[in-house]
Amino acid sequence: MFRILVADSLPEDILARYNRAEGIEVANKSGISKEDLIQELPQYNGLVVRSRTKVTAEVLAAGTNLKIIGRAGAGVDNIDTAEATRRGIIVMNTPGGNTVAATEHTVALMLAMLRNIPQAHASMRESKWDRKKYLGHELYEKTIGIVGLGKIGREVAKRLAAFGSKLIG
């Protein structure tokens, strides 16, 4: 039986998938303290974390049966990957897992800023409305510079191009 400790919160549907898998026993210990993690980790073959849990050299030393660490997220800066590699522990992550969400959030914030949505909303809540004050601007034919053309930057560029924006980056 392969035993997995889930140290950070995961959506219920993901936990349900783990629990349905044959040959796997899952312990959901979301929010476990560092001290308890160090004490319990020797019982497990796998560890699943998000960004809250810091998988340090000290934690890895306690994982005497640890074979794999799954990071439910893109970055692994909370995991001592060099130490994990030295110990023969595989570290996996989900690169691009948040690309669409981050991209859409970026474009949504741009639209909110251009169209004065927060200000208009506040004005409406105060029972005031000055339509001319909140007209805002369009993305169409605006020149927009994108700093960083990684996965998210490229996806933002695609969406802005669909608005007819001119892109620099």
Query: pLDDT digit string (tens) for 36-55?
Result: 999 999 999 999 999 999 99
Q: Check residue 131 and give its pLDDT.
A: 84
Place 95 in a pLDDT band, splitting at 50, 70 and 90.
Answer: confident
Asked whether the whole model's pTM tops 0.75, one would answer: no
**Sheet order of strands, 46-49 included:** 24-28, 2-6, 46-49, 68-71, 90-92
CATH for the stretch 99-168:
3.40.50.720
For 50-67, what is each residue's pLDDT tens digit? Answer: 999 999 999 999 999 999
Token pair for residue 114?
Answer: 């251009």
What are the sequence ranges of the domains in the chain? 2-92, 99-168
Q: Are 48 and 4 in contact (CB under 8 A)?
A: yes
Using DSSP, state whether 13 is helix, strand or coil.
helix
Q: Find out if CATH 3.40.50.11900 is the number for domain 2-92.
A: no
Q: What is the pLDDT of residues 99-113, one digit of tens each?
A: 999 999 999 999 999
Half-sphere exposure of 6 (CA within 13 A, CB side): 18
